[in-house]
Structure 1
Amino acid sequence: MFLKVDADQARIDVEVEAMSLAPVPTPAVLWRRPPVLAIAALPGAPLARLGGPSTGAPAQWAAAGAAIRTLYDAPLPPRPGRAGRSNVALAAELDEECELLVRKGLLPADLVTRNRQVAEVAFRPWTPAFTHGDLQVAHVFVDGGEVTGIIDWSEAGRGDALYDLATFTLGHEEHLDDVIAGYGTEADIDVIHAWWSLRSLLGVRWLIEHGFDPSAPGCEVDVLRSRM
């Protein structure tokens, strides 16, 4: 089994509800004893990891894209998720974060400025979809050519579909075409690139302050440099 510890029971409520509504494979809930949620282990293994080698065959990435599309075509969940923040609120958060990144000397000013420009494309009208909200590639398990399950649904809800596609392909740009092929319909690549920049800018300071290294090969700083 997998054990998830979260003192915020509202987040666990969202997770359990989302897994019950999502039309894609999710782990069974075994038991819940606050602050622990126990879910069944999934067959297979995560498709890849941010900063790790680009594992997985093209067919597996395409299968993940198809699963994401199935989620987006589902009836909307009852509440907004992380991918559903308003453009106004998100832009204000991004501006504040960019100012801190430069003032604290965490990233060069030109790198921040260029990626803030790229991120601007994400601020556009969008149609709400059923989104996972934290669809990191390590949260998608595959076995052979099949997606066996998706974990970590605490940020799920109504949101921008391209947010999830961007999160899933962050740091694995070479597989974007495979994912889009499985997704089965046109996706705005410029918006996905914008979300790569936006997510990376918002994540760098938090990662550093919590002991992670966003400048490791293939991680957030590399993603920002790729937009220069």
Structure 2
Amino acid sequence: MEEVQVPVAHQERATLRVGDIFLKIDADQARTDVEVAAMELAPVPTPRVLWRNPPVLALAALPGAALGRLGRPSSAPPGAWTAAGAAPRRLHDAPLPPWPGRKPREVEADLDRQCRWLLANDVLPTDLITRNRAVAGAALREWTPVFTHGDLQLTHVFVDGDEVSGVIDWSEAAPGDALSDLATLTLGHEEHLHDVIAGYGSPVEVEVVRGWWSWRSLTAIPWLLQHGFDPFAPGCEVDVLRART
């Protein structure tokens, strides 16, 4: 008998695995609409949609394994990280999806709102927040929108040897800043940034990537705390912020 595994579960969504089938349950069907549409448009390998019966989306499992996990050393070889850098380049060169993305001013407003929450709830030292808010400013410039994944965590990129076998979780896909994808992919794994850039194949403003590391960590911590996750775990978001000081 196949076991039911629960890779992800919180108040907004849950993912169950039964054998080679993933069942994604999402309270917001607009997110699932985006996920299905993005997978149809993306020029990179994605999971096969088996069926959809709202609020459930059934996907086939991908071969290989996730590139790694935040807070843990990655066992993937450098070639896999290079391949992981080439995948978003193909995505970023593709035509934009036909739905809107966030503008820089909206991204900045979100950052300032979350920083106020962190200060009001005494979650982090004021100087740590202030320093990383300044670092994040490098990312808050006008950018040319590209087709971004929007949540390109290393757990969302599957590799088989030195090849990307697929990319999952497309619900945040939208026009956006290319370097935000590269930053999300390398968050907490700065040692692999040069491999990712080599695969990406064009000049990358590293200070902007670092800015996105600070932005993502500052904006993620409130949500993580409110949904039962631990951003203070070794190598996770709080350590990413400390590394910027």
TM-score if structure 2 supplies the norm length?
Answer: 0.90
Counterpart of 2:94 in structure 1 is 74
CA drift of 1:4 comes to: 0.7
Can you give the 5+ residue segments of structure 1 that lack an aligned partner in the other structure?
Answer: none
- Please state whether the residue corresponding to 1:63 is helix, strand or coil: helix
- Please state whether the residue corresponding to 2:233 is helix, strand or coil: coil
Instruction: Spell out, residue by residue over 1:181-222, the C-alpha distance to the aligned partner (whole angstroms, 9 max, x if none).
Output: 000111110000000000100111221121111011110000
What RMSD over aligned residues (CA atoms) do the two structures have, in Å? 0.9
- State the identity %: 67
CA–CA separation in structure 1 for the residues paired with 2:149 and 2:113:
25
CA–CA separation in structure 2 for the residues paired with 1:157 and 1:141:
21
- Please state whether the residue corresponding to 2:175 is helix, strand or coil: strand
- Please state whether the residue corresponding to 1:115 is helix, strand or coil: helix
1:43 is aligned to 2:29 = no
TM-score if structure 1 supplies the norm length?
Answer: 0.96
CA drift of 1:27 comes to: 0.8
Counterpart of 1:122 in structure 2 is 139
Can you give the 5+ residue segments of structure 2 that lack an aligned partner in the other structure?
Answer: 1-20
Counterpart of 1:144 in structure 2 is 161
Instruction: Spell out, residue by residue over 1:143-174, the C-alpha distance to the aligned partner (whole angstroms, 9 max, x if none).
Output: 11110000000111211111111011000000
| Letter aligned with residue 178 of structure 1 | D
- Please state whether the residue corresponding to 2:150 is helix, strand or coil: coil
Counterpart of 1:15 in structure 2 is 35
1:87 is aligned to 2:104 = yes
| Letter aligned with residue 190 of structure 1 | E
Q: Which has the higher contact order (CA 8 A, sep 6+)?
A: 1
CA–CA separation in structure 2 for the residues paired with 1:216 and 1:136:
17
CA–CA separation in structure 2 for the residues paired with 1:11 and 1:179:
28
1:133 is aligned to 2:146 = no
- Please state whether the residue corresponding to 1:24 is helix, strand or coil: coil
Number of equivalent positions: 225
1:65 is aligned to 2:85 = yes
Structure whose residues are more often strand by fraction = 2
